Structure 1
Amino acid sequence: MLEFKLTPHHAGLSLWGDRAALERLHGFVHRVVEESDVIVDEESFVLGLAYDVRKAFEGQRSVGERSHFDDEHCRIYGVEILWPVMLIQTALLRHAMGFIPTNALDQAIMYELEYVVGSAARAAMPVAADDVLHRSRRACVAPYEHLDSVLNSRCVYYIETAPGKRLKILPELMETFDPMYAFLAKQGAARRHGLIPASAFDACEADWPDFEW
């Protein structure tokens, strides 16, 4: 079973689960990436999710306990994932599943992941969550190469945003993954209130700076 915790500085969410749930998710992500013609890079950033959950169930991230009854405890494992990364990874996995054979277990794993991410989004930003999730899904109809080319700059921009403002700018940030965003920005739509100008990402191609989750 998967679950979530929100990080204190609004950088992302902590994805938690018992070893069995995380191992299932790890194998599922690898299979979708390997079989998908949508995700064209064998070293895809989507595999970052598989890497993170593997590090978690190997005990190299966070470890805790889940209580079932007063005298029964289950070890669980967690890992922090940045909001823009988690949203795009989840949406792209769902999109890629539309082009490969899947079974009931595949769908169950995907629905559980979507449920946890959606629940975390609604807990973090009750008003804006549906908009953020919709923009994430819309962005993932774009070619994989486009998403791969812009992800890092969006992550750096999000990290460098003051913690108290991160969730407020997340809807507009997810809009910038849409391939139509570049066209709208060039046409002067960046003057629209709330739309992040393309120039904001010009200095965001470096490695991720240190930040607090």
Structure 2
Amino acid sequence: MKYSHLLAACAAVLVACPAQAATLISAAVFGSTNNTIWATANAPGTTSGNYTLFLQNPGLGNFLNRNDEAISYAAHAGDNYAFLAGDGFFPGSTLNSDPLYRLELTFDNGAVLTGSYIPGSTNMFVGGNAVTIGNTTLSLTEFSFTRSLADTVGPYHAIPQTGDSNDYAGNFSFTQTIDPGVGAGLVPEPESWALMVGGLALVGYGLRRRRSRVAVTYA
């Protein structure tokens, strides 16, 4: 009887556990008029003309993709943010390449967040969206991207003085909200899987011991 209770407990854990936090897998900034693109998933030579978009979290200089590697950032409940850096374009200029920049964030749960920023005197974030998948809602709350008078990164590596001396800088932030009352799309945490597997193993072991204790008699 105690084994059936253990099975019920394992099932309850799987039902009650929340979804895992969404993971940011790529980010890109698109210029509105000159086909300028900075992208995190952009190794040298893979996409002609694109520069790398470097993400920094939790602070300046703490790059998530210093050498153009894939982004791995597990979002947490509440506010999430990152600083941005990209090599200067047009080369040799201090002006913004485009009158508007659009950010695109892609997550492993299928969500895509977008928003735009108007640099210069307007200095305005516009059009941030929100996406709900299962019990998780992701919302873009801030984005900026503009030409700065500093050399912080190169075209494909986060090293100063390997590209233009007037690079781009900015930031973005988004919120992640998990509704525990929504059951759709729940994904067990690894600890929950371990508990369930361990419980089933104990049940099997107990049943095996019970069978081994059955006495066999002959008439």
The normalised TM-score by structure 1 is 0.26
The normalised TM-score by structure 2 is 0.26
Q: Considering fraction of residues, name the structure with more strand.
A: 2
Q: Considering fraction of residues, name the structure with more helix.
A: 1
In terms of Rg, which structure is larger? 2
